[in-house]
Amino acid sequence: MTATEIVTVNDRVYAWPKVPAIAICLDGCEPAYLDEAIDAGLMPTLKAIKERGTVRTAHSVIPSFTNPNNMSIATGRPPKVHGICGNYLYEPETGEEVMMNDPRFLRAPTVFKTFYDAGARVAVVTAKDKLRALLGHGLKFDDGRAICFSSEKSDTATKAEHGIDNASEWLGRPVPEVYSADLSEFVFAAGVKLLKEFKPDVMYLTTTDYVQHKYAPGDKEANDFYEMFDKYLTELDALGAAIVVTADHGMKPKHNADGSPSVIYIQDLLDEWFGEAAARVILPITDPYVVHHGALGSFATAYLPAGVDAAETCARLAAIDGVTVAVTKAEACERFELPEDRIGDIVLVSGENITLGTSEDRHDLSALNEPLRSHGGLTEQAVPFIVNRAMADLGDAPSLRNFDAFNVAVAAAALGGDAVEAAE
């Protein structure tokens, strides 16, 4: 055991955990999913935790997408500090759109790296591999104190690069399909085994929103997912860990009455106003896994041609039904704490039941086999924030953020553990 009592990460002070501190990011967990599953009697452990622990709502960062929020949870800070504001980045200098999942885009150390450097044992399991390099950045795997792998690529994990050889074999579970609930179940199962055997001081478990993009709160498939999660939560809780359950963002239906996606095609509009391809619309939700959302979300940024007035363009866009925010870069970066050099000239957010697209012919919607559900805007900002300990003085949304998860988890873990004491 180390003598360290506090750790400072990105100018925030963190307590040293006396029992394992775990943050669980349930991807796309609109709070209603938990309410419905609890009401159906499928989450007895979460229900009990809500009664004896602390229940809050937190706000995600905007854009309410996966990577910006996961990296905020991992660093304890908004995108302005860590730099990851989407899956995609447009570099005006090169005219290229590049994936932002390379660690070279990350501008702040993670909680995991800082705790590892301070002597802690650290474990990170992500469903999709796209997040692994970012989450694991700065960890060293040569002394057996760090593990970081994805379900998706679990069979190719190596001790040198992930802290574990073939995690799929280690867990005794085959590599799940990338579009499946199993990809997330693998994360939970690994978390339980790691807690028992690896005994991390700090652990992060982050899932995929495949189920949430397809199914509404209360649907059988959604309830099945949360019932499955509750079984693993039961084990994690019983092992004495301090746990924060939160989400990267919520999820809302974004389709028309006939089931077709509800979309405003911004590139088509800007082409009409300023000429073909004069402006460039970037949808930061775009990633290689578009099957479940067709790259349609509720946040867009656009680079405008020289000479076009950004404020005037915002006023025109704000007049469109369904556009709820249309602001200049400066306003957006101030309001949403975004890095100025990675955002276009204007930022747009759409309403609860409508998305923003580029051009109609550029979205492949053929794989959308359920009416579109998605996220990205302010209407998906409210997420659950549940702690399995009674925490005094914990605020609530809007001041409580999902990226307070580790700060709260280690504070709860610094209190010690009821279940551990009871078991002794």
| Nearer residue to Zn ion within complex by CB, 182 or 248 | 248
Q: Restricting to residues 72-111, name those near Zn ion by CB under 5 A.
A: none
Q: Least distance (Å) from Zn ion to the CB of residue 70? A: 8
Q: What are phi and psi of 12, to 5 degrees?
A: -115, 145
Q: How far is the CB of 291 from Zn ion (least distance, A)?
A: 11
Would you say 36 or 248 has its CB closer to Zn ion? 248
Question: Which CB atom, from 66 or from 328, has the smaller least distance to Zn ion?
Answer: 66
Site for Zn ion in 303-322 (CB under 5 A): none
- Amino acid at position 343, single letter: I
Q: 149: part of which helix (H) or strand (E)?
A: strand 146-150
Q: In the bound complex, which residue of the shown chain has the CB atom lying closest to Zn ion?
A: 66
Using the rule CB under 5 A, which residue among 45, 54, 64, 66 binds Zn ion?
Answer: 66
Q: Which residues ranging from 236 to 255 are in contact with Zn ion (CB under 5 A)? A: 248
Contact 240, 22 (CB under 8 A): no
Peptide bond into 305 cis (omega under 30): no
The two structure tokens encoding residue 140: 């060293």
CB of 254 to Zn ion, least distance (A): 11
154 touches Zn ion (CB under 5 A): no
d(CA 255, CA 258): 8
Question: Among residues 66 and 150, whose Cβ is nearest to Zn ion?
Answer: 66
Q: What are phi and psi of 99, to 5 degrees?
A: -65, 140
* Alpha-carbon 136 to chain mean position: 15
What are the angstrom distances between the C-alpha of 70 and each of 110, 127, 165, 251, 402? 11, 12, 25, 16, 9
Closer to Zn ion at the Cβ: 201 or 248? Answer: 248
Binding to Zn ion, residues 356-375 (CB under 5 A): none
State yes or no: residue 287 binds Zn ion (CB under 5 A). Answer: no
Give the count of residues interacting with Zn ion (CB under 5 A).
4
Which residue, 211 or 270, is less far from Zn ion as judged by CB? 211
User: Closest distance between Zn ion and the C-beta of residue 115, in Å?
Assistant: 24
Among 61-69, 144-152, 346-354, 383-391, the segment contacting Zn ion (CB under 5 A): 61-69
Structure tokens at 267: 């590139």
DSSP code string of 296-323: -BSEEEEEPPTT--HHHHHHHHHTSTTE
Enumerate residues 185-224 that contact Zn ion by CB under 5 A.
209
C-alpha 391 chain-centroid distance: 23
- CB-wise, 71 or 164, nearer to Zn ion? 71
> Could you tell me if 61 and 380 are in contact, meaning their C-beta atoms sit under 8 angstroms apart?
no
Q: Considering beta carbons, is residue 17 or 68 the nearer one to Zn ion?
A: 68
Instruction: State the minimum distance, in angstroms, from the CB of residue 189 to Zn ion.
Output: 20
d(CA 249, CA 409): 19
Q: Which residues pair with 7 in a beta bridge?
A: 14
Q: What is the DSSP letter of 155?
A: G
Stretch that binds Zn ion, among 19-27, 115-123, 133-141, 257-265 (CB under 5 A): 19-27
By CB under 5 A, what part of segment 134-153 binds Zn ion? none
State which residue, 18 or 252, has the beta carbon closest to Zn ion: 252
27 interacts with Zn ion by CB under 5 A: yes
Q: Which whole-number Å values give the CA distances from 105 to 98, 154, 159, 322, in the listed order? A: 11, 24, 25, 32
CB of 27 to Zn ion, least distance (A): 4
Residues that bind Zn ion (CB under 5 A): 27, 66, 209, 248
